[in-house]
Structure 1
């Protein structure tokens, strides 16, 4: 079982704010064996902020056979340093040998500090 919180494809934030762009974990087999998190590699770095991959502890959420299982996760965090729009991209490599590398991307708009972010599109 492979897991990921959906990537935030188009995000708006203020200078100084941090947003979690994506979060990934991996489980194996019917007994929900916890694996190390997938390897996340930044391909395109931002020019208006900082993009980092961190390891943390999370859970699988409330759906499926492995609901609420504690798992190590690899999270992609973006911090806005100055106003502008960034196009970022990254690759995710799961431990399963039959999986290909997944390529993901997102656009992040950083507004000046003290401005309200635009409401999310529905």
Structure 2
């Protein structure tokens, strides 16, 4: 289990325990974190689970696949260098302490 911190645009943060094997998106949805819409349920087909990985992150994240890369060009909030789809970040002990910032809007 890993602790993942979700920071909203107003600075409020929610820290949740996410089971190994779940995604950062699933952890948000199961714990009622606002701002993660996840319309497609984690299928990497909508881009509504967009997050900004904290710039100080040192945890190893999964490699971005071409589908995720393409969807990030269609997100409601601007794509930045640290943009990821939270459904494409698997949770394991390696990402314990990961901090992500929820964009202003998803749709």
- Compare the two structures and name the one with the higher strand fraction: 1
Q: TM-score, normalised by structure 2?
A: 0.32
Q: TM-score, normalised by structure 1?
A: 0.29
Report the structure number with the largest CA radius of gyration.
Answer: 1
- Compare the two structures and name the one with the higher helix fraction: 2
Where relative contact order (Cα < 8 A, 6+ residues apart) is larger, the structure is 2
